[in-house]
Amino acid sequence: MFKVRINRAESESNQETLLQILQKQGIYVPASCGGKGSCGRCKIKVLEGNVTSNSSFGISEAEKAEGFVLACQSFPQSDVLIELPAQLITVSERIALAKAELIENIFKSQPSLFSPLVGKLHLKVEPQEALADFENLKIAAHRSLSISRKLASMLPDFLRQNQWNITLALSEDEIIDFPSKKLYGIAIDIGTTTVAMALIDLEKGKILDVATCYNSQINYGDDVITRIVFSEENPYGLNVLRKCIVDDINALINIVSVRRREGKIYCVVVSGNTTMCHLFWGINPEYIRQEPYAPVLSHYPVWRASEAKLLLDDQIPVYTVPSVAGYVGGDIVAGVLASGLYKSEELSLFIDIGTNGEIVIGNRDFLVTASTSAGPCFEGSGISCGMRATDGAVESFKYHRETDSFEIKVIGNVKPQGICGSGMIDIISELFSNGVIDQKGKLLPDRSKHIDFSQLSSDDSRFIITSDCYITQSDIDNIIRAKAAIYAGISTLLEEMGIKEKELKKVYIAGGFGEFLDVKKAIKIGMLPNLAGERFIFLGNTSLTGAVLCLLSKELWKETNEIAQKMTYIDLSRSKKFMDEYVSALFLPHTDWERFK
Amino acid sequence: MFKVRINRAESESNQETLLQILQKQGIYVPASCGGKGSCGRCKIKVLEGNVTSNSSFGISEAEKAEGFVLACQSFPQSDVLIELPAQLITVSERIALAKAELIENIFKSQPSLFSPLVGKLHLKVEPQEALADFENLKIAAHRSLSISRKLASMLPDFLRQNQWNITLALSEDEIIDFPSKKLYGIAIDIGTTTVAMALIDLEKGKILDVATCYNSQINYGDDVITRIVFSEENPYGLNVLRKCIVDDINALINIVSVRRREGKIYCVVVSGNTTMCHLFWGINPEYIRQEPYAPVLSHYPVWRASEAKLLLDDQIPVYTVPSVAGYVGGDIVAGVLASGLYKSEELSLFIDIGTNGEIVIGNRDFLVTASTSAGPCFEGSGISCGMRATDGAVESFKYHRETDSFEIKVIGNVKPQGICGSGMIDIISELFSNGVIDQKGKLLPDRSKHIDFSQLSSDDSRFIITSDCYITQSDIDNIIRAKAAIYAGISTLLEEMGIKEKELKKVYIAGGFGEFLDVKKAIKIGMLPNLAGERFIFLGNTSLTGAVLCLLSKELWKETNEIAQKMTYIDLSRSKKFMDEYVSALFLPHTDWERFK
């Protein structure tokens, strides 16, 4: 549950709905009808204060009595306190809350950074005798400009009809439109599992809306390797996967555009892992899977919306956040940008726990990076009852040894349907602390009545949570392999650089876990280095945040390219040290348990 | 008649036909079948030496006895002397002869200028561990490169299939293809009346072929003004005119490509007057006709073949020679480039006598330019029996006062069908010198039996050459107005700059007249300044020559842009001085006859 206080004074007029006021605060309540009162999704509870509502579509009399209203149809009449049920906000949308702050802070502390990749330029042209219209335009702009044939063909009438006043939408030197609407941009994080989009007001530097969906490539494989294999083995595999992600993005564009008709999208920044970016652009990712794991592109030219097959004006520039190597992509580069660790004196660690686990160690002097194949288990994939951190997911778990009983917390307070990443870590940590599993992660039959050993294979032995929700021995093994890969990656990289864990001043955690990872428990199972809790900082979806930052700042886009250049990739797949570390980390918490004392 | 000597040693192999050997010398004999021996157009006469022929399609026994052979089917067995009947070569193709020389001389004297706008780069890529293919490519090229999505998608397989050897076609930093054929380019002169194209070998810097056709916009008006009016008055007028010229150019591309399949066109340079360039790009020329006569564009961005609707690969760059003003276009800028006057210390005059008469005066320190509406009469338009300088045109005229008789020379030695520009100047000059017309250009009834005064209107009084071919009083008035406009333009510009005629060291003459203008006679009627004959230099189609030079040299392309910037346009239409000069020049040779003594 989230509680939000709204001061009526913040409402610019009586015309603003609660939905609009919340959006201004960076809180994105889904309203699939676009705020027309016809979908009933934006139901919220008014705890204090008075509101008037135009419509209560889909709200029962009982709910009305409790204070439920439709955010899109209600207007505050006093200061109000609102409760947003967690199920109203998807994980990525919760992450967006954190992000908006981070972005705001960056531009507040350094206002000169604000210089969107596409900007507006208002000109009053003073036509000089017999000089070409376009030359007059360049003189008025005091800069070199380029123009498309189509816009050039519109220029003469446009200038004369508007008494030589003109507004340009500029991408570098190129005029991409004579805009009559507000300039919007979109930032896209193409995750292997989830696609997230933020609609940005390029003039004000604000997030207007976010939207997320599954990456429908999931139908062709859970992780990047199976997707690459699919694209190799099927004659049109690459086209199929490209169409999946392009269709997903176009659907999201449609959603965010329908909601915000007062602007037009003029710039796109895409961030994703190397394979996702290749698939998005329809570029064969085959060689990423073969030694020496070389991608086709790491620094992408700025191509156009037409080339990307996005349903935007053809000429709209599409920027792709550069990658470092086949397994350290633009999402990580964007993450380093968002974390700011590349500018800091302090030695820090950045981990993005998604389908892969990517690690960066460094500061303003150096950056080293590696990728571990953690696998998609923390995103809910490949685990018997795994699911994403959304309604119905067990997100925390507390075991009581004395009574052999446990408590769970389920997102949305509904019947548990499965277990999300943070739930998995809680379960393993609690069962290990209380001796229900041993140091190797094996379920101990005599320790709990909740263990079912009746399955044919010992891998299928399970700890039962509810009849539909359990964790098997092979799930536990899987999770331990994942945490071992992450920890071994961190410790190998530290050892390579001759740095001790304790020297890490900050640990930035990005990815689907968001703020819902219990750091103490993650340390208890030996997944994260044993550091004081205050050194850990949760950043949410830094791939998306980084993409937004690029969209809003030419300077930060430039820095992003410099970060990618500066990052040194260490290939763990061929490192003996990593293999040793990995094997040692296959224990709970670790063979060298001293480290986790 | 043209005679050409062919040394057998120049033939690289016995496999080369006379057609091919002539082409190498810059002589373009039309062969519409592409040299397959099936059209019979390339019939030439062997005067000395032996040739063997595979076929004599379309050649009569009598012709065979005289030595006629098909150039495309014949091989020299010794040194040979060949006669090319004039009708085999169209006007523009005759102009091309001069041009090839001019171009060759420029690059011979300054080899460093040779750097085509699109060039080949062969690379042996040494792939570095895990580095992206495109990054490896940039390292091998030692330069920054950009690539399209489509080519990027082909890159990985292409590199690996060719053992990391690759050839790039480069336009600036942009890879436009991985070419497997020779790199060709095309230069296009879009004249108001005629379109001329040259196919260029970009690797060797040679003209391979030329092709010309009428500008089919002629159906919608003879001069730029009527075309602009057509585009304004008809709802799809601009599209109609654009389609005309684009179709013409595509037809020419087809002709030159069919003949030369061993290469592929990778670059286009277009040169034409301001209105023609606007129409080619589909840009509204309306404001060129309205005070202050401003075009939309003078310096065009480099757009693509797809934007131009040319039937070439989409991404091929299309350069447009920049213009100076609404009535001094890229054709004149290209002409100044081709003439070299902008680099010379000597004060010179450049005149392009096409549908308009454009004038440039200057040297390496300054360039001033103006345009006079000479009208299309010298191109054969607007004159009762006017025609272009092609088969059947009276091109010279000699009058004998004693016998009241005359001799004519007809292009192609056929029955006269009309009078071309040089013929008109000859006729007026001869009739004036011999007192058949007076100083105002009026036909004097009692001076020749060839004058027919029986028409209803005195404007229709005519000097009869043959029953089908004559010149009327109104034609003569028309021609005098045209020559007056040209001369007045020159003298006004000279006066503006405080320069005396005698100070002009060179007079470059470009345009349809080619080498066929009798300078002495043009001076006699007061069209050209009264200077010694050796100061006059005929350059042919300098718009096309300039476009070829740009295609072959980045440096000259840059200089072309500098020339356009440097040229100061003087608007004669609002000059009182010009009106005075014009009125004075409406006499033969001039009111101030001292100037032409």
Beta-sheet pairing, A506-511 with A348-353: parallel
Across the interface, do A133 and B301 touch by the CB < 8 Å criterion? no
Across the interface, do A149 and B283 touch by the CB < 8 Å criterion? yes
Cα–Cα distance for residue pair B279/B277, rounded to 1 Å: 5
CB contacts, 8 Å: B149 with chain A: 281-283, 303, 307-308
Find the chain A residues whose C-beta atoms sit closer than 8 A to any C-beta of B: 127, 129-136, 146-150, 152-153, 155-157, 160, 281-284, 286-287, 292-299, 301, 303, 307-308, 323, 325-326, 569, 571
How far apart are the CA of A337 and the nearest CA of chain B, in angstroms?
21
Helix axes B91-109, B542-552, angle to 10 degrees: 40
Cα–Cα distance for residue pair A67/A73, rounded to 1 Å: 14
How far apart are the CA of A369 and the nearest CA of chain B, in angstroms?
14
Q: Which residue of A has its CA nearest to B127?
A: A294
Cα–Cα distance for residue pair A537/B76, rounded to 1 Å: 86
pLDDT in tens, chain B (597 residues): 456 778 776 555 667 888 878 766 556 566 555 567 776 767 888 998 999 998 888 888 888 998 999 988 999 988 888 887 544 444 444 444 556 788 888 999 999 999 999 999 999 999 988 899 999 999 999 999 999 999 999 999 999 999 999 999 999 999 999 999 999 999 999 998 888 899 999 999 988 888 877 788 887 887 899 999 999 999 899 999 999 999 989 988 887 887 677 999 999 999 999 999 999 999 999 999 998 899 999 999 999 999 999 999 999 999 999 999 999 999 999 999 999 999 999 999 999 987 778 999 999 999 999 999 877 788 777 889 988 777 788 989 999 999 999 999 998 788 898 898 899 999 999 999 999 999 999 999 889 999 998 888 888 899 999 988 999 999 999 999 999 999 999 999 999 999 999 999 999 999 866 567 889 999 999 999 999 999 999 888 899 999 999 999 999 999 999 999 999 999 998 889 999 999 999 999 999 888 888
Q: Which two tokens stand for residue B559?
A: 């200089």
The region, left, alpha or beta by phi > 0 then psi within -120 to 50, assigned to residue A519 is alpha
CATH of domain B343-376+480-591: 3.30.420.40
Cα–Cα distance for residue pair B299/B281, rounded to 1 Å: 13
Which of B292, B303, B307 is the closest to A130 by Cβ?
B292
How far apart are the CA of A33 and the nearest CA of chain B, in angstroms?
36
Which of B132, B299, B308 is the closest to A294 by Cβ?
B132
CB contacts, 8 Å: B150 with chain A: 307
Which of A282, A284, A294 is the closest to B149 by Cβ?
A282
Neighbour tally for B66: CB within 10 Å: 12
Residue A40's nearest CA partner among A53, A49, A52 is A53
**pLDDT tens for each residue of B338-377:** 999 999 999 999 999 877 789 999 999 999 999 998 777 8
pLDDT at position A413, please? Answer: 80
Cα–Cα distance for residue pair A23/B269, rounded to 1 Å: 53
- For residues B391 and B385, is the Cβ–Cβ distance under 8 A? no
pLDDT at position A565, please? Answer: 96
- For residues B348 and B539, is the Cβ–Cβ distance under 8 A? no
What does the DSSP 8-state code read for residue A405?
A: E
Domain ranges of chain B: 2-89, 118-177, 182-320, 343-376+480-591, 379-475
Cα–Cα distance for residue pair B270/A333, rounded to 1 Å: 44
Cα–Cα distance for residue pair A310/A254, rounded to 1 Å: 11
CATH of domain B182-320: 3.30.420.480
Across the interface, do A133 and B294 touch by the CB < 8 Å criterion? yes
CB contacts, 8 Å: A155 with chain B: 296
Q: Which CATH architecture has domain A2-89?
A: Roll (3.10)
Beta-sheet pairing, B367-372 with B357-362: antiparallel
Q: What is the CATH superfamily name and number for domain A340-376+479-543+562-596?
A: ATPase, nucleotide binding domain (3.30.420.40)
Helix axes A421-433, A473-497, angle to 10 degrees: 90
Same topology between domain B2-89 and domain B182-320: no
Which of B129, B134, B295 is the closest to A297 by Cβ?
B134
Q: Which residue of A has its CA nearest to B130?
A: A294
Helix axes A330-339, A542-552, angle to 10 degrees: 80
Residue B70's nearest CA partner among B93, B39, B24, B91 is B39
CA angle B301, B305, B306 (to 5 degrees): 105
Cα–Cα distance for residue pair A561/B262, rounded to 1 Å: 42
Find the chain B residues whose C-beta atoms sit closer than 8 A to any C-beta of A: 127, 129-136, 146-150, 152-153, 155-157, 160, 281-284, 286-287, 292-299, 301, 303, 307-308, 323, 325-326, 569, 571
Q: Is B206 exposed, middle or buried (CB count within 10 Å of its CB: 0-12, 13-18, 19+)? A: middle
Which of the residues in chain A have pLDDT under 50? 1, 86-96
Beta-sheet pairing, B393-400 with B405-410: antiparallel
Per-residue DSSP letters for B234-245? STTHHHHHHHHH
Which of A136, A284, A298 is the closest to B153 by Cβ?
A284
Beta-carbon contacts of residue B135 (< 8 Å; ≥ 6 apart): A298, A299
pLDDT at position A252, please? Answer: 85
Which of B155, B284, B296 is the closest to A132 by Cβ?
B296
CB contacts, 8 Å: A294 with chain B: 127, 129-133, 136
Q: What is the ipTM of this complex?
A: 0.80
